[in-house]
Structure 1
Amino acid sequence: AKVRVECRDRATGQLTYGIAGVTDATGTYRIPVEEERPDEICEAILISSPQPGCTELEKGRERASILLTSNSGISSPTRYANSLGFIKDTPLPVCTQLSQLYEIEA
């Protein structure tokens, strides 16, 4: 999938930084950001999926906030975003069983 890191000015919402990347076969991506972004709101954002039948962005899982500053209490320079995801056009067979188990309407 294509993924992008975008940062916006906290006060104006103006886009200040953007860099693109792609996932590997496991869905993992690594996007190096060299500069600190302490006064900006940064997010990892899904752009597109290469898999037919799995291209619809799932609301709430299409982006994840990330802190891109060393002044955040996190000792490692590596940052991990929450999982991002697409919705399959056709649910997997196990989804019906899980929906029934958790009493969710499918």
Structure 2
Amino acid sequence: MPGAKVKLECKGEEAGNITYTQEGETNESGQYRLKVEGDHADEECGITLLKSSRADCDEIPDEGWASKPSSLITITKNNGFHGSTRYANPLGFTKKKANPDCAELLKELEINPDHP
């Protein structure tokens, strides 16, 4: 989805202590790149969805497979990874009203267990 907004947020050991944030936007193929400054070895960092570019597909799921609507990511040079590129797990928006043909699949994936 092109034009969706995402946010990287790193938190220190103290609850609520946000140490770094950066926002970005997906390109025409739905991918994004964020150039992160510094090393965040002692922090918990994650990517979250901020805003969809489509009004018909702008729900941020928070159940089933997406019970935590964020993707944790390690941002440090001291972890054995070669290179500086890190990949977050996929995140996605859902439609306000599911396609009726998808009800069984949604139920199976526990995305919306209350869906008839």
Question: Which TM bucket (shorter chain)?
Answer: 0.7 to 0.9
Greater strand proportion: 1
**TM-score, normalised via structure 1 length:** 0.84
Question: Counterpart of 1:18 in structure 2: which amino acid?
Answer: T
Unaligned 5+ runs, structure 1:
none
Secondary structure of 1:16's aligned partner? strand
Deviation readout 1:4-52 (Å, 9 max, x if unpaired): 1100002343001101100012210101102111111100111010101
Provide the residue aligned with 2:79 in structure 1.
Answer: 72
Cα deviation 1:36-86 (Å, max 9, x = unaligned): 111111001110101011111011262100000011111121000001111
How many residue pairs end up in the alignment? 105
Structure 1 contact 62–86 (Cα < 8 Å) conserved? no
Structure 2 counterpart of 1:53: 56
Matched, 1:92 2:95: no
Gaps of 5+ in 2: none
Query: Conserved in 2, the CA contact under 8 Å of 1:67 and 1:79?
Result: yes
**Paired residue type of 1:65:** L
In the alignment, which residue of structure 1 is the partner of 2:29? 26
Taking a change above 3 Å as real, the CA distance of residues 30 and 103 of structure 1, as seen in their structure-2 partners, is closer
* Aligned AA (1:15): I
